[in-house]
Every structure is written in C-alpha cells, then in structure tokens.
Amino acid sequence: MSESSDEEFDGFSQNEVDAAAQRYNDRLAQIGIGELDVVDNENESENDFSDENEPLVVDEAGDRPAEADGWHENFNYYERGLPHIFLPRGNTGPTTVLDPDKEPVGFFLIAVYQCHFAIHIIQETDRYANKQIRDHPDENKSPWVTPTVEEMKAFLGLCFLMGINVKPDIKSYWSTDVMLETPYFSKVMKRDRYMQIMRYIHFSNSEQAPQPGDPNYSKLYKIESLMNMFTDSMVNQYIPKRQLSVDEVMVPWKGRLSFKQYMPAKPTKWGIKMWAIAEANTGYVSFCQVYSGRINGVAAHGLANRVVKNCIEKANVIGQGYHIYMDNYFTSPTLFTDLFEHSNTAACGTVRINRRELPKDIMKKNPEGVINRGDMQFRQKDAVAAVVWKDKKNVNLISSIHDFSVGAVQRNVQQADGIFQRQEIPCPQMISDYTQVHGRG
C-alpha cells in the first residue's frame, strides 16, 4: 500500500479499521456475495489468473456450448451488481390520515374532490349548456343555472346510487307510486333539475376535440382530462410499499363501443380493457389506463414494454427501487434488463418460451433434467435469473429480484394406492414469491 493510501487512514486506530472492514464484509454476506479477500499485489502469482491448468471446451464461435448465448448455470452476484435500495418518495401508506371512525367513502371524497373533480365538470357542463342555449334557443327554453359544487356532488351521488338500486328508467326514481317510490331521490334533488343537468353534462370541450387522422386524436378525449385528474389524485393520495403488480383489468361492458374487448379466458369476457399498476399487499391502484385499441388503425409496436414503463412512470415509482411483478404478456429479458439498468427497478414474471433472448437450452417444451415434480433448472445472464420448474406442468419464470434460492411448497401428491397425500416439494423462491405477490395484486 502506498504512502498516499496510508494517509487516508490517519487518525484511525487499527481496531477501528478492522471493525469497518468487518462491517463491510458482513453487509456483503447479507446480500450473498461473501467475504472479499484482500491480496497483496506483490505476492500474486501469475498462475492465479492462468487458464493453462483448466482446458476449456469451446464451440466454433469460441464460446462454451452451455454459455454460447450468454446464459450460464452458476449465479454470479458481481454480474448482476448490488441490489437496488428501496427509497420511496415518502412514507408508504396514505398521505392523508383519516379518523378511525371514517368510512371508505371519506377517502374517496378526498381523492376525488381535492383534485377539483366537481369544479371541472361544472365548468365544462356550463360551457356546453350555454352553447346549446345560444345555438338552439327553441330547443332549450328552460332557464339554466350553473350548478354549485354541492349540487354537482349530489348529482354524482344519485348517479352512483342508481347503479346500486336499478330501475327500468330514470324517471322511476322520482315515482310517487307506493310500490315504486324511492323518497330519498326527491329529497336530494328535483327530477327536472336532475334531468336538466343530465342533458348538458360534459367533461371536455367538444369544440376542441381532435378528429380521426389527427396525431392527437383519442377515442377517450371526452373523458381523458377527467381520468388524468383522477389518476393524478390516486398517485398523490397513497405511496405504495415495495411489491407492485402490473396487470390487465377487464371492466364489464356489453354496450356499443369501438374498443370493447373480448377475452374468452377472463372471468369477465366482454368489456373495457385497462392497464393497471397496484400495490400487491392491498390492491390499491396507483395508476390505470384504458386500452382504446390501435392508434389510427396501426398496431402499437412493443405495446407490452411501453405499458409497463408508462405505468411505473405515471405511478411515480420509477427510480426508487420498487419490485414489479407481472404475467407472461409483459415479461421479457429485454424489458427486465432495461428496467434494472436504467430505471432502478427490479422485476419478476412468468415468461412465454418463444420470447427472444431466453436460455433456449431450458426454455423449451421438454428441457433436460426437468422430468419429475420438483425438478428445476436455473440460468443467469447479466441481471436476469431464469428458471424452469416442474409442477403439474412446467413453469417458466425470469427475475431480476431473485437469485437461485430454493424453498418448498405443499402439494397433494397421488400415491401408488391412489390416495392423495400432502407432500413438500422443492420450489424456486422466485416462483414462490411470484405466486404470493402477483396472486394477490
């Protein structure tokens, strides 16, 4: 060690230096790297770095056959790098703490009305009403009064209530028939006033709507500003814990809609598809986005990658050390490497074996060494670990969160006499965590 290097330790006793070195090695051991050996450069032998005693088998390209695509069998912590530190933008949980006796609607009202939700609707509704009265006076003879915030809240509340207490038509809610009446509606708002607001209700300026063919055209224009306000409020009102889940969500809908989706494998087969990112532990949605189909008739390139990146950016969780779980629609080695290296975000997800850049020696229909229940094969490339594990069928998964750790799961296994018994079988920790986290996200 040079004199200049020795000067860095002036003022420290040998015991203090040794204690600091021990703390560093303890930290390395916690993350699985192990203790580093300090070697005197002058005593190093050239043979320590020589491959002469260990002949390598290489293919025509000069690569080891098992590692020709960059994937290898032994996990290397140095290759991945140090794990990300979780540094959320604030204390996790609600940013506004309500009294213990408050109902869930209290949180909803804060999330909605702190973002001037009602004021925006009033402004656009008033704009449209005045335009209609001005352009078509003969068809709009009833005097128009701009709704107050409280009146708009009451109107929206009645709309929600109609979804719970369903009747054949709107006027039935103000019926005085003893067998049909619901007195609460008439106490909150007169029928004619409700119908007048409903006639003019608007969420955007229709005169400024981009037309088809315009680069800014959106099928969601009429509600887009309202949705943006709502999703911004969702982000501001809650800071999620570390484990998040990105997934597609189906909102039931059987009406006429150009971007209505049919997904036969989903419990809700017909509806509006949305992308969402949610906290795995609570299911709180930090951001959601409606999928409105192809943009100007052209299929979006790299849709899955863009969805994940957009979700973590709009949810304000990028660059903070979050762990994102997702299914095989989104998962790819390219995405996981990009998130790990450029967004300070690790990820875990099931993967389709036809994805590019996977370890093809194990990510195939019948990989070697994966025959019986509990068999598994691991590979690593850069920050990404890959595994195939035999359960009832093969499970393929990649992760930039986990290493090759193995745990166990309980399964009902049929014995030779035909009786099922609960048995413990080996299971990769990354699959166990994925099942627990993404299953409740």
Residue 133's pLDDT is: 95
Specify the higher pLDDT residue, 42 or 20: 20
Residue 365 inside a domain? The answer is yes
Specify the higher pLDDT residue, 439 or 164: 164
Query: Would you say how long the chain is, in residues?
Result: 441
Cα gap 109→150, rounded to integer Å: 12
Verify that 65 and 120 share a domain, yes or no. no
Residue 371 inside a domain? The answer is yes
Verify that 41 and 67 share a domain, yes or no. no
CB 278 within 8 A of CB 243: no
Residue 339's pLDDT is: 96
Matching residue, tokens 């074996």: 353
Verify that 132 and 61 share a domain, yes or no. no
Cα gap 304→54, rounded to integer Å: 44
Verify that 42 and 62 share a domain, yes or no. no
**What is the residue-averaged pLDDT of the chain?**
84
* CA neighbor of 189 nearest in space, from 160, 150, 163: 150
Q: Is the pLDDT of residue 145 over 90?
A: yes
Paired residues of 410 in beta bridges:
424
**Residue 194 CB neighbour total at 10 angstroms:** 21
The average pLDDT across 65-69 equals: 59
Residue 214 inside a domain? The answer is no
Verify that 346 and 396 share a domain, yes or no. yes
Verify that 332 and 439 share a domain, yes or no. yes
**Residue 160 CB neighbour total at 10 angstroms:** 10
The average pLDDT across 89-111 equals: 85
The amino acid that residue 366 corresponds to is: N
Specify the higher pLDDT residue, 265 or 300: 265
Specify the higher pLDDT residue, 172 or 113: 172
Verify that 355 and 437 share a domain, yes or no. yes
Residue 23's pLDDT is: 62
Residue 142 inside a domain? The answer is yes
Residue 34 inside a domain? The answer is yes
Say if strands 376-381 and 384-390 run parallel, antiparallel, or are unpaired.
Answer: antiparallel
The average pLDDT across 379-404 equals: 95
The average pLDDT across 299-313 equals: 85
Paired residues of 378 in beta bridges:
387
Q: Is the pLDDT of residue 29 over 70?
A: no
Q: What are phi and psi of 234, to 5 degrees?
A: -60, -40
Residue 186's pLDDT is: 95
Query: pLDDT class for 44, splitting at 50, 70, 90?
Result: very low
Residue 10 inside a domain? The answer is yes
Q: Which of 149, 182, 202 is the last residue of a domain?
A: 202
Q: Is the pLDDT of residue 262 over 50?
A: yes
The average pLDDT across 257-270 equals: 87
Verify that 328 and 441 share a domain, yes or no. yes
What is the total count of domains within the chain? 3
The tokens for 85 are 């530190």
Verify that 109 and 23 share a domain, yes or no. no
Specify the higher pLDDT residue, 68 or 370: 370
What's the pLDDT tens digit per position in 190-209? Answer: 999 999 999 999 999 988 88
Q: Is the pLDDT of residue 36 over 60?
A: no
Residue 295's pLDDT is: 60
Q: Which of 145, 173, 202 is the last residue of a domain?
A: 202
Q: Is the pLDDT of residue 58 over 50?
A: no
Residue 20's pLDDT is: 61
Q: Which domain holds residue 177?
A: 104-202
365, exposed or middle or buried, with CB in 10 Å at 0-12, 13-18, 19+? exposed
Residue 312 inside a domain? The answer is no
Verify that 2 and 72 share a domain, yes or no. no
Residue 113 inside a domain? The answer is yes
Verify that 8 and 62 share a domain, yes or no. no
Cα gap 358→364, rounded to integer Å: 10
* CA neighbor of 349 nearest in space, from 367, 329, 364: 329
Verify that 13 and 112 share a domain, yes or no. no
Residue 378's pLDDT is: 96
Q: Which of 157, 184, 202 is the last residue of a domain?
A: 202
